[in-house]
Amino acid sequence: MTPISHHPACCSPLQDHWPLPFALPGVQLISTRFDPSLLDPEDFTRCGVPGMSAVSKRQTEFLAGRLCAREALRRTTGEPCTPAVNEDRSPCWPTGAVGSITHGAGWAAAVVARHEQWRGIGLDVEKRLPPTRADRLVAEILTPRELEGYVELDEAQRALLVTLTFSLKESLFKALYPLVNKRFYFQEAELIDHDSTGRARLRLLSDLSEEWKSGAELDGQFVQFEDDYLLSLVSIPA
Contact in structure between 6 and 87 (CB atoms under 8 Å):
no
Q: Calculate mean pLDDT across residues 172-199.
A: 97
Query: How distant, in Å, are the alpha carbons of 17, 34, 106, 139, 175 from that of 110?
Result: 12, 14, 14, 30, 13
Say which residue, 225 or 138, is predicted with more confidence. Answer: 138
Reported pTM:
0.94
User: What's the average model confidence in pLDDT over 122-136?
Assistant: 97
User: If pLDDT is split at 50, 70 and 90, which confidence band does 225 have?
Assistant: confident
DSSP for residue 119? E
Q: What value does the mean pLDDT of the chain take? A: 94
Percent share of the chain, pLDDT over 70: 98
pLDDT of residue 226: 78
Q: What is the mean pLDDT of residues 109-116?
A: 97
CB of 191 closer than 8 Å to CB of 200: yes
- Does residue 193 contact residue 17 with C-beta atoms inside 8 Å? no
pLDDT of 118 reads: 98
Tell me what pLDDT residue 136 has: 97
Residue 176 and residue 181: Cα distance in Å, rounded? Answer: 8
Residue 80 pLDDT:
85
Going by C-alpha positions, the residue among 101, 151, 108, 156 that lies closest to residue 128 is 156
| CB of 149 closer than 8 Å to CB of 169 | no
Type of residue numbered 107: W
